[in-house]
Structure 1
Amino acid sequence: MKTAQQWFDEYAISHQNETNQQVHYICVPLIFFSVIGLLMSIPNLFLENSFGLNNPLIENWAAVTGVLISFFYFRLGFWYFMEMLFVILLCIIGNFWLGNTVNLLYASIIIFVVGWIGQFWGHKVEGKKPSFAKDLQFLLIGPLWVIQKLGKKK
């Protein structure tokens, strides 16, 4: 398995342009947030009360998927895992709030589409294909890369 730095170095190859990076700082979190919202929009007939908690914040498909993808981040390193766990939890809470305000499914679809339009425009400016065209695991690296890049800009 590649190290986190190897993933970041490979991801950075198609993210050299400053405009594309700025677009990613906005669009990658929007897409991640919207995917959590889309997962939370899936009816949870199987999960409903299956843990006996009756808590919509943890008994939903986003929480299940979050646990599964957390293994990927844990293999990269404990602190990467902790950062992404925090992001996943923030997204679940944010989407729970959003779902109590508007229709979560429609809002998530709109955010998702807008985010991907931005992403593809950024890569058009960059002149390089998105990394996930080479390996779908880059869809999980993108959010972590953004966190690392923004964390270094202090």
Structure 2
Amino acid sequence: MNTVAESSSSTERPIDRWFANYSGDHRNATNQLIHVICVPAILWSVVALLWCIPAPGSWFRAGFWAGLAMLATALFYYRASRSLGLGMAIAYVLMGLLTRWLHDTYGTTTLLWLGVGVFVVAWIGQFIGHSKLLEGKRPSFFTDLTYLLIGPAWVLAKLYRKLGLRY
């Protein structure tokens, strides 16, 4: 038995294993750049689309479902890494403010179509990044849907490393 491998894997956090696997499918520099742009765009578009779902009852406002999803996923990230969870919470607050402004200024229909447009264009970018022209590997979420949540944290972790911050 290799005790070094065992000890390093036993001290390694699950988020580190997720990132290692995700990074293995994202080695091409152009594909990584595409992900840095498209993953946050997809995340925002999902927030926008959820914002457009009518809120239940009269106690809740537009954005209820988006807020609920952002809270649930921020808790997922926080459990994986406190600093990533806090960073994602900040990102969600900014996305929520932008989305609320767009909704209040242009209305639900415009927000819906903008969300759909961003979603489609960003996914086209993602698949171009994974095409044989660039990465040549299928997206990670084809093996495990959890990678749909790992992508945004992976992008944020890249930013943290660039800023010299630990996650």
Answer yes or no: same fold by TM over 0.5. Answer: yes
How do 1:84-103 residues align onto structure 2 when only pairs under 5 Å count?
A: 84-102=88-106, 103=110
Residue 127 of structure 2 is aligned with which of 120, 126, 133?
120
Residue 80 (structure 1) aligns with: 84
- Structure 1: 5+ residue stretches without partners: none
Deviation at 1:79, TM superposition (A): 1.1
Residue 26 (structure 2) aligns with: 15
Deviation at 1:97, TM superposition (A): 1.4
Q: C-alpha root-mean-square deviation of aligned residues, in Å?
A: 1.5
Deviation at 1:153, TM superposition (A): 2.7
- Structure 2: 5+ residue stretches without partners: 1-12
Determine whether 1:6 maps to 2:10: no
Determine whether 1:137 maps to 2:146: yes
- TM-score, normalised by the number of residues in structure 1: 0.88
Determine whether 1:36 maps to 2:40: no
Q: Distance in 1 between matches of 2:18 and 2:87?
A: 16
Deviation at 1:32, TM superposition (A): 0.3
Query: Which digits, 9 at most, give the CA deviation of each residue in 1:57-105, with x for residues without a partner?
Result: xx61011111212221122021111011111111111111122343110
8 Å contact from structure 2 (residues 84, 157) kept in 1 = no
Deviation at 1:12, TM superposition (A): 0.2
- TM-score, normalised by the number of residues in structure 2: 0.82
Q: If you compute each CA radius of gyration, which structure gives the higher value, 1 or 2?
A: 2
Q: Distance in 2 between matches of 1:150 and 1:120?
A: 22
Greater CA deviation, 22-31 or 84-93?
A: 84-93
Higher relative contact order (CA 8 A, sep 6+): 1
Q: Distance in 2 between matches of 1:104 and 1:133?
A: 29
Query: How many residues align structurally?
Result: 146
Q: Distance in 1 between matches of 2:86 and 2:51?
A: 21
Q: Distance in 2 between matches of 1:37 and 1:3?
A: 29
- Identity, in percent, stands at 41
